[in-house]
Amino acid sequence: MMNIAVIDDEQHCTDRLLALLEPYKDKIETICFDTVDGAIKGIETLHPNIVFLDVQLHDKTGFDVLSSISNRNFCLIFTTAYEQYAIEAFKFSAIDYLLKPIAKDDFENAIRKAFERVEQNQLNERINVLFSHLYKEPTIKRISIPTKEGYNFLNITDIVRCEADVNYTHIFTIDSIKHTVSKPLKHFEGLLSNHKFFRIHNSHLINLNHVKSYAKSGYVTLLDNTKLEISIRRKEEFIKVCNRI
């Protein structure tokens, strides 16, 4: 029997999750909390396998829950009514989230992944990545890269470039390691464009801090001596961006 905790301060949202969980009632037990203090005590005492955690809980947040518990040995799924609130941070940390009102298809996809991987690998470290993107302290920002074994955690400043390979992306770091991820390059362009990354070609996203030189013939050389062509339609914008650095 699997224990599931639903943490939400709005009863209609809790009811929605309970209704979506109804088809699984033979293999789960569900307990609900509507305050931060109750959720903290409940998680520490009951050790749930899966936690649905609302972002906003009265005058506090779900992040207050996470920062106050020692037991993080569960699968975490955030729920939020705010489409932009913390979404980027969730993506950087590879922590699942559902937008309210929760659609059945989105829920089914999330719960399927949760059942397949009841204990989310390296959750503590991914929560640290999440917090690093939520708060404005001058910490080194990182990104969680899923692997077959779990996750790799990369400093964004250490990423030299990303290269498209159909629905996969190869990420090259300063230690000359190639990390392959089953997400398209567009996903990483969306995440990294505010961190001085620029897409010079359909196949290449580069870290502008790792640019060594640019040739008017339309090629850029990176600090690791990789030479890449800049597409004609992106050349003008690339020059403008470089002049602003």
Domain ranges in the chain are 2-134, 157-244
Answer for the pair 50, 75: CB distance below 8 angstroms, yes or no: yes
Classify 228 as helix, strand or coil: strand
Report whether pLDDT(138) > 80: no
Region 110-124: mean pLDDT is: 82
Residue 36: count of CB within 10 angstroms of its CB: 20
At 196, phi and psi to the nearest 5?
65, 40
Return the CATH superfamily for domain 2-134.
Response regulator (3.40.50.2300)
Q: Is the pLDDT of residue 154 over 90?
A: yes
Location of structure tokens 């030189």: 213
Tens digit of pLDDT for each residue in 175-200?
Answer: 999 999 999 999 999 999 999 999 99
CA distances from residue 144 to 41, 141, 179 in whole angstroms, order as listed = 29, 10, 11
Instruction: State pLDDT tens for residues 23-56.
Output: 999 999 999 999 999 999 999 999 999 999 999 9
Global pTM? 0.86
Superfamily of domain 157-244: LytTr DNA-binding domain (2.40.50.1020)
pLDDT band with cut points at 50, 70 and 90 for residue 164: very high
Query: Is residue 234 predicted with pLDDT exceeding 90?
Result: yes
The Cα–Cα gap between 34 and 7 comes to 6
Sheet with 204-207, edge to edge strand ranges: 178-181, 168-173, 159-165, 204-207, 197-201
